[in-house]
């Protein structure tokens, strides 16, 4: 056995029995083989790289809904030996921020801009909404194409598809293979947007990939990435691959062999969830093997990132952070992330440098050889020196978001914002050590793993509501779990951060959140989710937005009455407990 083989085998075997390894698939190098079949490919098949070409090959791997506590080096119950090894040999990003839900994180990665500057500051893009990434935005893959890259995307898009001009292949990717909506069945690729509104959602380029149904998506996407690597010449052209896994988003599905090592977990949701994370770990293992095999590795940068916090109702965990997916507490916006690359100058360390998902745009353009003119106007910073050399991050501040359409906090007002800002509006910002939240930040409890998913779902409403508030302030460096609200002790800091919200809000563009279009129904489009509006059809965003705003006002009144009865039931339930 070669030294490389011995190292990989030793790494994989740490903490595992041979039976667990076989069931997890870590001895299965080629995912095109059956789960229990081992590919006998000799390690001397690795291609030795000739003099390192410039710029580097970039592999960006994003997981969906993976919580802060859902990786081996943070968790005691989820096993990710290969991700742990990659992170340990690279740079762990432990002060890394994303967005609390899918569409915003992807839009900020692709454009390098805050949501308030793309009109996507409210919620996600629904399958039937005539909405997508604004056409005036030059995307990251488009910039990389300009710099000579071959660009490919595999996996979940979730940035709109109502027109063909919205599709990944029209937004900078030479090839695309994946799903356009936010959630699909891992085997059938069926996606539903409400009862009876279901359709097939797996696409090859701009065509529907009907023939691929039945294959587990984590395996299928990994096979496609390995095929791209196998058919591209690493010496002729730099490569950018954006692998956007569907995992570990619901539905909780994985091949049975991945569940076996977690049979001791009593919580069923956590058990299934953990098995899906292990399938991702194996996938990243196999992709890295392929990078080595075909001569990419020595001149590659591998970035691993989740898109938002985990959902404890579905097995995820952000412990010990506060909150969950869909909230602006740390559990919703502090992300898992690391960089692994032979090009890193200072490896095997933990970075506390402040990094935001918008920073990848200028960072990767810079790595690709682009100058600052190509990233003019973006909200991100080039953080490569902070990651690679351990220097201070150029970023001092993060606008998490300002969402004027989210349900306004009943306890908020302009008066409570010192006449500076209406604290009923959902917003959050971090500046230096300080983090401010206004409005309704979302569910704000601390949820240990394996706890509440086994309880009645109504118990989720038993959140700590002892005080009705609309302003919170935390020293996030000293109190990352957000347990000590300092808003009353430090009104001076509150006022300064409220003024920063006002500054950002003046630069915001109108929210793009149109009403759903009945023409999008898959039953009207051959049974699949596909573009349904002609490219020649003119969009009227102002009209759509105003109509949606009126609908939202009516829904807010209805939601308030529902909220009253929900809290009444909660108090009754609390007394019983």
End-to-end CA distance of the chain: 60
Query: Which residue, 312, 190, 185, 306, is CA-closest to 250?
Result: 185
Distance CA 167, CA 169 (A): 5
Q: Are 435 and 474 in contact (CB under 8 A)?
A: yes
| For residue 248, cis peptide bond before it (omega within 30 degrees of 0) | yes
Active site residue 192: no
Whole-angstrom Cα distance, residue 47 to residue 33? 22
CA distance 303 to 337: 7
Residue 376: partners with Cβ closer than 8 Å, 6 or more residues away: none
Distance CA 175, CA 153 (A): 6
Choosing from 102, 132, 166, 198, the catalytic residue is: 102
Alpha helices (H) in 118-267, listed in sequence order: 140-146, 217-231, 256-259
CA distance 215 to 51: 39
Cα 117 to Cα 132: distance, rounded to the nearest angstrom: 14
Residue 552, SS3 per DSSP: helix
Find the catalytic residue in 152, 158, 249, 356.
Answer: 158
Question: How far is Cα 69 from Cα 535, in angstroms, rounded to an integer?
Answer: 43
- Residue 158 annotated to the active site: yes
Q: Coil, strand or helix: which one is 567?
A: helix
Closest CA to 515 of 128, 102, 159: 128
SS (H, E, C) 365-428: HHHCCCCHHHHCCCCCCCCHHHHHCCCCCCCCEEEEEEECCCCCCCCCCCCCCCCCCCCCCEEE
Beta strand extents in 248-376 (DSSP E only): 300-306, 337-340, 349-351, 355-356
- Active site (catalytic) residues: 102, 158
């Amino acid at each position: 056995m070669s030294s490389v083989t011995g190292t990989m085998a030793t790494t994989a075997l740490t903490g595992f029995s041979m039976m667990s390894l076989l069931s997890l698939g870590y001895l299965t190098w080629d995912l095109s083989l059956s789960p229990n079949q081992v590919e006998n490919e000799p390690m001397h098949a690795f291609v030795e790289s000739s003099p390192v070409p410039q710029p580097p090959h970039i592999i960006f791997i994003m997981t969906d809904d993976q919580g802060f506590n859902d990786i081996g080096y943070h968790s005691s119950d989820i096993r990710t030996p290969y991700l742990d090894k990659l992170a340990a040999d690279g740079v762990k990003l432990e002060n890394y921020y994303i967005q609390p839900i899918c569409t915003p994180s992807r839009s900020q990665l692709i454009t390098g801009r805050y949501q308030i500057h793309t009109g996507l500051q409210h919620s996600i893009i629904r399958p039937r909404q005539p909405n997508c990434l604004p056409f005036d935005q030059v995307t990251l893959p488009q910039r990389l194409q300009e710099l000579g890259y071959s660009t490919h995307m595999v996996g979940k898009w979730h940035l709109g598809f109502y027109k063909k001009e919205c599709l990944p292949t029209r937004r900078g990717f030479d090839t695309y293979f994946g799903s356009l909506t936010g959630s699909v069945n891992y085997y059938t690729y069926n996606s539903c947007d409400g009862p009876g509104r279901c359709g097939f959602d797996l696409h090859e380029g701009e065509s529907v990939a009907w023939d691929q149904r039945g294959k587990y998506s984590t395996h299928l996407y990994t096979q496609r990435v390995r095929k791209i690597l196998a058919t591209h010449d690493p010496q002729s052209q730099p490569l950018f691959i954006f692998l956007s896994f569907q995992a570990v988003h619901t539905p909780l599905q994985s091949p049975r062999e991945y569940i076996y090592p977690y049979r001791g977990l009593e919580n069923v949701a956590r058990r299934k969830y953990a098995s899906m994370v292990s399938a991702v770990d194996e996938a990243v293992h196999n992709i890295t093997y392929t990078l080595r095999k075909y001569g990419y590795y020595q001149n590659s940068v591998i970035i691993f990132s989740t898109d938002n916090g985990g959902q404890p109702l579905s097995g995820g965990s952000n412990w010990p952070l506060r909150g969950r997916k869909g909230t602006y507490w740390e559990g919703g916006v502090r992300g898992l992330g690391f960089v692994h690359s032979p090009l890193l100058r200072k490896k095997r360390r933990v970075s506390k440098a402040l990094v935001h998902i918008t920073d990848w745009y200028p960072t990767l353009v810079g790595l690709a050889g682009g100058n600052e003119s190509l990233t003019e106007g973006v909200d991100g910073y080039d953080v490569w020196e902070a990651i690679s050399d351990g220097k201070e991050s150029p970023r001092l501040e993060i606008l998490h978001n300002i969402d004027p359409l989210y349900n306004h906090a009943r306890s908020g007002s302009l008066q409570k914002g010192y006449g500076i800002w209406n604290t009923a509006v959902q917003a959050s910002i971090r500046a230096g050590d300080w983090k401010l939240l206004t409005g309704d930040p979302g569910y704000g409890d601390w949820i240990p793993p394996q706890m509440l998913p086994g309880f009645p779902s109504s118990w989720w409403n038993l959140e700590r509501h002892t005080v009705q508030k609309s302003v919170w302030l935390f020293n996030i460096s000293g109190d990352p779990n957000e347990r000590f609200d300092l808003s009353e002790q430090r009104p001076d800091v509150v006022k300064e951060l409220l003024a920063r919200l006002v500054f950002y809000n003046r630069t915001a563009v109108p929210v793009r959140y149109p009403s759903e279009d009945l023409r999008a129904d898959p039953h009207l489009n051959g049974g699949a989710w596909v573009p349904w509006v002609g490219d020649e059809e003119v969009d009227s965003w102002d009209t759509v937005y105003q109509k949606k705003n009126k609908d939202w006002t009516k829904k807010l009144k209805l939601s308030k009455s529902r909220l009253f009865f929900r809290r009444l039931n909660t108090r009754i339930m609390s007394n019983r407990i």
